[in-house]
Amino acid sequence: MLLRRLARPLFASWFVSEGVDVLRSPGRHVADARAALDRLNRRLPAQAQGTPVASALATPLTDAQLTAIVRAHGGALAVGGVLLGLGRAPRTVSFVLAILTAPLVLVALPDKRADGGDKILRRERRARLVRAAAFTGGAVLAGADSQGRPSIGWRVQHARDEHAKAKAHEA
């Protein structure tokens, strides 16, 4: 359908743009990731402190490690966006992109300590939060699009039903 051929590359362009921006200038993104990790460590309840996840979060990452993680994330966003734009495995890629944008939502969550009383910073953070949440939702919708064809689950169930009918007629 023509609509999908136009809409997917337009939708994918944000992922490509965001990923390339991270790859070109990871500094701001690393600072945002560091702030989000610190915020998450502060908010962990005392009961969760002994869990493996909490231990992993409490272990501080070096700047080089965090930069590598942020760049890998940006590269994955860009590659996923290109694949979606080209229509290669669009359902799978869309779900992967939805998973990859979830950390962007967490990074953009409001933080009064980081923003202070600066209304401009709060407005920018809110805009990034809404944008990341919208693209996460859009990626989920794109992943659920079966292009007018039945889903694999429906086809499997339909084949089972047909097989059961054939056995009933044989008996």
What is the rounded CA–CA span in Å between residue 141 and residue 158?
Answer: 24
Average pLDDT along the chain? 84
Joined tokens for residue 130? 């809404």
**pLDDT per residue over 38-48, tens digit each?**
887 777 765 56
Q: CB-hemisphere CA count at 13 Å for 65?
A: 5
Query: In terms of DSSP H, where are the helices of the chain?
Result: 2-24, 26-43, 52-58, 63-86, 90-107, 112-115, 119-144, 152-170
Contact 30, 96 (CB under 8 A): no
pTM of the model: 0.73
What is the rounded CA–CA span in Å between residue 93 and residue 99?
Answer: 10
**pLDDT per residue over 46-87, tens digit each?**
556 666 666 666 667 888 999 999 999 999 999 999 999 998
Name the band, by pLDDT with cuts 50, 70 and 90, for residue 145.
confident
Domain encompassing residue 49: 2-170
Contact 105, 132 (CB under 8 A): yes
User: For 72, phi and psi rounded to 5 degrees?
Assistant: -60, -40
What is the rounded CA–CA span in Å between residue 79 and residue 92?
Answer: 13
Joined tokens for residue 80? 């996923």
Name the band, by pLDDT with cuts 50, 70 and 90, for residue 18.
very high
Number of domains in the chain: 1
Burial status of residue 88 (CB atoms within 10 A of its CB: 0-12, 13-18, 19 or more): exposed
Q: Under DSSP, is residue 25 helix (H, G, I), strand (E, B) or coil?
A: coil
pLDDT of residue 54: 62
